[in-house]
């Protein structure tokens, strides 16, 4: 469901503006200056209204948390939550997670949380899933070796997709469960998680640890074609594709047609 536009968004954002990082593009390599004593730097992608953000930051005050959220109307609620609790170890970026390598230096992050990301059930939209290989490649650019992704979802199909996708991109799985709270609540719940748990839905969770990895050359033509589309025609609509591939520099497309 689309979020209703919040009233007074700008003034509310300004009120907790000291938590908003307005120029994240100028920050690679500098995040720890915000909290030099931090023992770790962790990112949360799609923090929504911030129940998990605030709860986790309160539980681990010696960790620096950066929450990334592309919908300001949700993010402002997370910011207000953290402000109300007087948390000083959380900062926010209002952006799409696909920008991560422009915000963080290689190896700068220790952990990434992805909680209840949009499942994008149709195959056509698989690339939008935050656990799709295209995103995993980006996470590899900002995570330190041995860094982790902590992933939770209620969506069984998304979970199946993710536990297959993660090892293909150099992440070792552990703590894999399809019923996290089977024996009573575990860890800090997110807003979505609390709602689903109350409805009796099982919650899936896994931890993925980044290990050394080299991208293998794709061997079947469909994968090569998709890779070409990712690199040379990302964001180009079906209608524009013909014009795009005939433009200068895209002549290699003819290998696939
Ligand atoms: C289903 S909600 C879950 C919110 C929260 N993590 C929770 O569990 O309660 C997904 C959130 O991720 C955000 N989101 C989705 N794709 C994103 C992206 N590519 N970059 C940043 N935020 C994203 C959405 O705006 C939304 O707030």
Residue 218 Cα to ligand 1 middle (Å): 31
- Using CA atoms, how far residue 47 sits from 126, 157, 165, 245, in Å, is 20, 21, 22, 37
Q: Which has the closest alpha carbon to 65: 83, 84, 86, 92?
A: 92
Q: Does any domain span residue 1?
A: no
Q: Are strands 109-115 and 143-153 parallel, antiparallel or unpaired?
A: parallel
Q: Which of 18, 62, 118, 179 is catalytic?
A: 118
Same domain, 144 and 25: yes
* Contact partners, residue 123, CB within 8 Å, separation at least 6: none
Same domain, 134 and 178: yes
* Contact partners, residue 148, CB within 8 Å, separation at least 6: 110, 111, 112, 207, 208, 209, 210
Same domain, 49 and 96: yes
Number of compact structural domains in the chain: 2
Q: What is the pLDDT, as a whole number, of residue 251?
A: 64
Q: What is the pLDDT, as a whole number, of residue 124?
A: 83
Q: What is the pLDDT, as a whole number, of residue 115?
A: 98
List the chain residues with pLDDT less than 50: none
Residue 207 Cα to ligand 1 middle (Å): 19
Domain containing residue 223:
218-257
Q: What is the pLDDT, as a whole number, of residue 226?
A: 80
Q: Does any domain span residue 3?
A: no
Q: Does any domain span residue 2?
A: no
Q: Which has the closest alpha carbon to 189: 50, 3, 65?
A: 50
Query: Quick check: is 118 catalytic?
Result: yes
Same domain, 143 and 239: no
Which of 55, 117, 189, 194 has most ligand 1 atoms within 8 Å of its beta carbon, as the pocket-test mutant?
117
Same domain, 206 and 225: no
Q: Are strands 40-45 and 90-94 parallel, antiparallel or unpaired?
A: unpaired
Same domain, 16 and 109: yes
Same domain, 34 and 83: yes
Same domain, 183 and 234: no
Q: What is the pLDDT, as a whole number, of residue 62?
A: 98
**pTM given for the model:** 0.89
Domain CATH number, residue 58:
3.40.50.150
Q: Does any domain span residue 86?
A: yes
Same domain, 186 and 226: no
Q: What is the pLDDT, as a whole number, of residue 257?
A: 64
């Amino acid at each position: 469901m689309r979020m209703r536009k919040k009233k007074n968004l700008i003034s509310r954002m300004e009120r907790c503006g000291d938590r908003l990082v307005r120029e994240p593009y100028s920050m690679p390599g500098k995040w720890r200056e915000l909290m030099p004593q931090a023992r770790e730097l962790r990112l949360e992608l799609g923090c929504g209204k911030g129940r998990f953000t605030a709860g986790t930051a309160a539980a681990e005050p010696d960790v620096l948390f950066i929450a990334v959220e592309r919908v300001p109307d949700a993010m402002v609620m997370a910011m207000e939550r953290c402000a109300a609790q007087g948390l000083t170890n959380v900062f926010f970026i209002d952006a799409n997670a696909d920008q991560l390598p422009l915000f963080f230096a290689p190896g700068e992050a220790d952990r990434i949380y992805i909680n209840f990301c949009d499942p994008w059930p149709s195959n056509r939209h698989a690339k939008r899933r935050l656990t799709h290989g295209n995103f995993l490649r980006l996470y590899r650019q900002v995570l330190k070796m041995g860094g982790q992704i902590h992933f939770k979802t209620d969506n069984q199909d998304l979970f199946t997709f993710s536990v297959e996708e993660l090892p293909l991109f150099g992440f070792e799985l552990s703590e894999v469960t399809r019923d996290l709270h089977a024996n009573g609540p575990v860890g800090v719940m997110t807003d979505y998680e609390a709602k689903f748990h109350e409805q009796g839905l099982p919650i899936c969770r896994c931890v993925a640890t980044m290990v050394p990895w080299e991208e293998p050359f794709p061997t079947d033509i469909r994968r090569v074609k998709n890779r070409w589309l990712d690199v040379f025609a990302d964001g180009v609509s079906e209608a524009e594709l013909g014009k795009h591939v005939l433009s200068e520099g895209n002549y290699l497309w003819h290998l696939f047609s």
